[in-house]
Amino acid sequence: MRLVLSRSSFSVMHLFLIAIPLCHALVATPSIPEVDVAIIGGGLSGLSAAKELAAANKSIVVLEARDRVGGRVLNANLAGKDVQELGGEYIGPTQNRVLALAAELGLPTYKTYTEGNSTFYRNGTARHYKDGLGGIPPVGLDTLVELAVFMTDINNLASTVDLEEPWNTPNATALDSMTLETYVNSKLSTSDSRVLLDVAIPAILSTEMKEPSLLYSLWCIAAAGDETGPGTINRLIGVDGGAQDSRVSGGTQLLATLLAERLGSENIYLDTPVRKVQLKESRYLVSSDENTVSARHVVCAMSPPLVTRITFDPPLPAGRDQLNQRMPMGALGKAIAIYPSAWWRDEGLNGVGVSDTGAIRVTYDNSPADGSFGAMMGFIEADEMRKLDTASEDEVKRQVKQSFANLFGPRVDDATDVLIQRWDLEEFSRGGPSALMPPGVLTQYGSYLRAPVGRIHFAGTETSLRWIGYMDGAISSGERVAGEILENW
Ligand SMILES: *[C@@H]1O[C@H](CO)[C@@H](O)[C@H](O)[C@H]1NC(C)=O
Ligand SMILES: *[C@@H]1O[C@H](CO)[C@@H](O)[C@H](O)[C@H]1NC(C)=O
Ligand SMILES: *[C@@H]1O[C@H](CO)[C@@H](O)[C@H](O)[C@H]1NC(C)=O
Ligand SMILES: *[C@@H]1O[C@H](CO)[C@@H](O)[C@H](O)[C@H]1NC(C)=O
């Protein structure tokens, strides 16, 4: 699929340059392909922008650093056994862009498995419970009351957020000068409610509560909905009817690979990490180590911190660059244990687990729709992931199995395979699921997030107004950027 553009013409051109120096410009120009839009990044945001631009008859090229499309969406193909998702996986109601794309590509969806009891490992004991109280495990009445009040309060506060311009939210400066943890500490007093938030927040943002600002966290909550239903923390943590409601048949990477197929492999350069974007005579020269394309518009379809690894000439404005510098990636891994069957279902369990300790604090039944084999998935989040960034794969697997065993008992050891994906170690992701904003960033630099610089445009799930950090946000950001480009053609 990869096209090597400049190499083949080099030696011939070299002769020309020596023989007819006056014709330098005439000879050099045609060797650089010209497109309307060069899109840097072949994840869901870049591919969605490409799709819209191609539909408007603009010529595009997608420059992707990896040897595959999909970015933080990745299928593991299991020998003779369907697939497992190692990156973005779940979709749910109000995620209208990703639901529409799945439908358009002819990909059916199916519900995440939730029949049976959930499991809570706390103070060294696993308890099973009927998940009937909005996903809250068996804890004391004081904790239940405190959590119910907390969720109402944070949802109410989130409803005051200005989605388009969160820096204009009432009290924005105060809300952005504290961490989410400061707010949570002011609201929660029981040790069980703190523990449950310490599990829930990393499961949503892949950060510890002490990392993101309160305003940024409220913005993410407010964005977890649509025109018909405002965003709530309940929707973010929910399975049935929430963000973990459904899965995509064949795995979510098909969303990217089918989009790429439509665009045509000749328009997608794989193994092409872009190093430089240079403005020259009103065109942008977009270069990897081996290729250069000339484009009228450029789309950076990646997380803001990864943009800092590209050299811009002239440099990006200070505010844009400071924003890129200030948004770190969350720390995230996924572990999936494979079994001949989903044996926990026979024990009346749905595989949903919440734990107060260990590498994995949240689990789901990840078996395929037809239940032809069993898969148990757990997230390795934030500080737990950081602890294991440098561990051997065997050590990660050992700790993962220990976490699963705390929740589900010794049968966990019967796994035929354990898949591990550490997003922190991916050169072209450097963490996941997205970049976040510590205190002070959204109010000071938020206005740079979506603002184009000349004809350089910024996509990526972080720039979305809906479902920030999700596949849905990535898709809508690509669509937004395509609209921006076409409007200003
Ligand atoms: C794109 O080009 C095709 C074929 O030339 C034409 O039928 C179609 O109307 C064009 N679409 C747009 C949006 O210009
Ligand atoms: C766990 O232990 C702590 C104190 O050690 C206690 O406050 C809490 O209620 C216990 N939780 C459960 C669910 O047993
Ligand atoms: C702003 O914060 C102050 C102090 O915390 C509070 O009294 C006030 O109600 C807040 N205003 C709004 C609109 O949230
Ligand atoms: C599920 O939990 C409920 C309440 O804790 C219990 O009564 C029921 O027997 C459990 N069901 C199964 C299948 O284990």
Decide: 345 in ligand 4 pocket, CB within 6 A: no
Ligand 4 centroid to residue 119 C-alpha, Å: 11
Regions in the chain scoring below 50 on pLDDT: 1-29
Instruction: Report the greatest alpha carbon distance in the chain.
Output: 87
| Domain presence at residue 19 | no
Closest C-alpha among 38, 102, 33 to residue 481 = 38
Closest ligand (CA of 58) = 1
pLDDT of residue 134: 57
Q: Is 172 annotated as a binding residue?
A: no
Ligand 1 centroid to residue 54 C-alpha, Å: 10
pLDDT of residue 68: 98
Closest ligand (CA of 160) = 3
Domain of residue 414: give its range. Answer: 74-95+107-135+238-249+331-431
| 300 and 279 in a common domain | yes
| 336 and 213 in a common domain | no
* pTM: predicted TM-score of the whole model, two decimal places: 0.92
pLDDT of residue 135: 61
Residue 318 has φ and ψ, to the nearest 5°, of -55, -45
pLDDT of residue 132: 60
| Domain presence at residue 342 | yes
| 339 and 298 in a common domain | no
Ligand 1 nearest atom to the CA of residue 55, by list position: 13
Residue ranges lining ligand 1, Cβ < 6 Å: 56-57
Residue whose CA is at the smallest distance from ligand 1 atom 7: 57
| 294 and 280 in a common domain | yes
Contacts of 401 (CB under 8 A, 6+ apart): 337, 412, 413, 415, 418
Cα–Cα dist 371/357, whole Å: 29
| 323 and 335 in a common domain | no
pLDDT of residue 22: 42
Domain count, the chain: 3
Question: Which stretches of 307-348 are assigned E, i.e. beta strand?
Answer: 311-313, 332-339
| Domain presence at residue 26 | no
Residue ranges lining ligand 2, Cβ < 6 Å: 122-123, 139-140, 191-192
Ligand 1 centroid to residue 57 C-alpha, Å: 6
The DSSP 8-state label assigned to residue 453 in this structure reads B
Ligand 3 nearest atom to the CA of residue 170, by list position: 13
Decide: 170 in ligand 3 pocket, CB within 6 A: yes
